[in-house]
Structure 1
Amino acid sequence: MRIARWISADGSIGEGFVVGEAEATRVVDFPDAGTVATVLAAGLSAARTLHDRVGSALDVDATLGTELAEVRLIAPVAPPSVRDFVTFEEHVEGVSAGVEGKSHVADEWYEAPTFYFTNPHTIRATGDVVAIPETRRLDFELELAVVIGGVDGSTGETLDTAAAADHIFGYTVMNDWSARDLQAREMKVRLGPCKGKDFGTTLGPWIVTSDELEQFVDSDGFLAVHAEVHVNGTLVGEDLVSNMGWTFPELVAYASRNSVVVPGDVLGSGTVGNGGCLGELWGRGSSIPPLEPGDEVRMIIEGVGEIVNVVGDRVPAPTLPAARTRTRQRTR
């Protein structure tokens, strides 16, 4: 099953299933005025029931819904939270070479799947022009993300790996846009990233339910789907998602530890290796330039789909003063 959100020609927002293939692909609203949020909360079994109802309706009227070409896809989910992991060892090695001058993976990386929270209010869709901050080192990050669904009223709190797997409703392609110069400054303060990341994350083109990708799960539980990224039509990176250090259920379990995951939450895999971002390539000596306004970034993940964005203009930022120094009195 593929689940999407879209804007129709009349400006209305639709939420429902994507059915058919190639030129015959259509979008069909959920029955009973359902939304992506309500479908995620109800879980996979309920989604299958809705999908069967749509299939039966299409058997009666094949023109039900709208041709995909006639709508504009928007982000398939409005997530309550977005966690982004760093699970590809090759990515860590390459980026560290660019930042520290040598290829290095901290011992602590191997102990647990580290993540950060990014901004759920700046989610972008495929086809969007992504305006950028005043960075001179704009980068992309090719990732696969899971979307959490409901499971029999479970709160999604402190899950073990098996229970965490049940909470994975589906997958979507993710581009974690990055301003590398801002990020580098922020990380020296030992907190962040913040403004180096929170200006945009692309999700899309839709959510593919987890059962659709079961055929790609290898004997160790990793999802062996091919991922690639193109800049202005040129392939610059590709990898198998199965090169992650942890499986997706393990990521969800860790995220929920002494915490909670809820339907609609998005958890990114972290950037794939072998050119999944320019930062890794720069660390390996590549002269590929940072992204500039007008550049096109296209990401494709096997079994899920593709997202395409064009880089927009830089957005001027109001100036702020430097920190005040500690020269003031401690008492009045």
Structure 2
Amino acid sequence: MRWVTYDGGAGLRTGVLDGETVRGLRAGVSLLSLVEAGGEALAEASGTARRAPDEVRPLADVRLCAPLPRPPSLRDGLCFLDHLRGCYRALGRSEELHPAWSRGPAFYFSNPSAVVGPYDDVPVAPGSRMFDLELELGAVIGRAGRDLDPVTAESHIVGYTLLNDWTARDHQVRDLALGIGMGKSKDSAVTLGPALVTVDELEEYRHDGRLALELRATVNGEELTRGSPADMDWTFGELLAYVSRGVDLTPGEVIGSGTVPGGCLLEHVDTPDMAAFRRWLRPGDIVALHGQGLGQTRQTVVAGTDVIPLRPGL
């Protein structure tokens, strides 16, 4: 099923996509509550949506929101090591990676309250002049688990969604200098959507145990990159096994794949002075992500708010 959260003018509703229509469940049922209730509840709800929906609305008459507007947790991995090499190359650094990158996947915690929908405008992060996109695949946990086995961990995923990890690269320079992880560079917006596509819907794209669907990103209609989660250096099973060491994964949590190689503007920087790069996102730019079986997002970058100084000159 392709589950969506939508607003038809009377608040958020949950439904399933059926061609150019949305088959909605009764008001008050959230997709998160269904995922938390488990596979049987989700299957029963899908049957209701197919046979006896509370409403059927033309897709053109509703606004699709993030399928999980406020997930319980949002982690982002870095499982495509060629993305990191591409960033190093653009910055004039050696592409040789520290041995730690081959010993296990990396991730950081992102901001669930910054989640935006697939067609929402996205403001530039306050004070940023180097605003960027990141093309990713998000996995949604459907079954709780702890200390998962990498061989079976993917069975805890209920479905997938496109994910755009918007990034203020100039703020990231300061975050990295502080040495305590990502901060304001990753705090302004994360796109999820347009739908939560259940695992069974994507089986046709699974080859040799990996999802071989195509992911693409465009800026103002110009293709930036294309790639596939089949090329991840660390699989979702390995990422989930690492993330779950000593902690509980709970239904509804979202875990990103990391950026598809070439799927951010940073990898395309062609000048020693990053600030002089002319392709950083500006108000009016249109960013779209496309995924086989997943649909597409399309968002307009708009002006952000002014920065309130912490102190004079800061």
TM-score over 0.5 (shorter chain): yes
- Aligned: 1:121 with 2:110: no
Indicate the residue corresponding to 1:29 in structure 2.
24
In 1: Cα distance, 2:46 partner to 2:72 partner: 25
Instruction: Map 1:140-155 to 2 at 5 A.
Output: 140-150=133-143, 155=144
Indicate the residue corresponding to 1:164 in structure 2.
153
Indicate the residue corresponding to 2:11 in structure 1.
12
Indicate the residue corresponding to 1:254 in structure 2.
242
Deviation of 1:64 after TM superposition, in Å, equals 4.4
In 1: Cα distance, 2:122 partner to 2:271 partner: 27
Indicate the residue corresponding to 1:296 in structure 2.
286
- Aligned: 1:102 with 2:101: no
In 2: Cα distance, 1:308 partner to 1:44 partner: 30
Out of 82-91 and 163-172, give the one that drifted further: 163-172
Choose from 265, 269, 284 the match for 1:278: 265
Deviation of 1:56 after TM superposition, in Å, equals 2.5
In 2: Cα distance, 1:12 partner to 1:41 partner: 21
- Taking only the aligned residue pairs, the percentage that are identical comes to 36
Give the letter for the 1:276 counterpart.
G
In 1: Cα distance, 2:47 partner to 2:88 partner: 49
Query: How high is the TM-score relative to the length of structure 2?
Result: 0.92
Retained in 1: the 8 A contact 2:24–2:55?
no
- Aligned: 1:76 with 2:67: yes
Change (3 A) 1:284 1:171: farther
Retained in 2: the 8 A contact 1:92–1:104?
no
What is the total number of aligned residue pairs between the two structures? Answer: 308
TM-superposition CA deviations, 1:75-130 (whole Å, max 9, x none): 11021110000111210101122345332322111111100001111101111111
Indicate the residue corresponding to 1:187 in structure 2.
176
Q: RMSD of the TM alignment (CA)?
A: 2.2
Specify every segment of 5 or more residues in structure 1 that has no aligned partner in the other structure, as ranges.
323-332
Indicate the residue corresponding to 1:266 in structure 2.
254
In 2: Cα distance, 1:228 partner to 1:249 partner: 23
TM-superposition CA deviations, 1:118-168 (whole Å, max 9, x none): 111110111111111211111100000001113xxxx42112134422210
Specify every segment of 5 or more residues in structure 2 that has no aligned partner in the other structure, as ranges.
none
Query: How high is the TM-score relative to the length of structure 1?
Result: 0.87
Retained in 2: the 8 A contact 1:168–1:249?
no
Choose from 73, 77, 80 the match for 1:85: 77
1:65 counterpart SS class: strand
Give the letter for the 1:34 counterpart.
V
Deviation of 1:52 after TM superposition, in Å, equals 2.2
Indicate the residue corresponding to 2:50 in structure 1.
55
- Aligned: 1:313 with 2:269: no
In 2: Cα distance, 1:4 partner to 1:265 partner: 16
1:159 counterpart SS class: coil
Retained in 2: the 8 A contact 1:97–1:104?
no
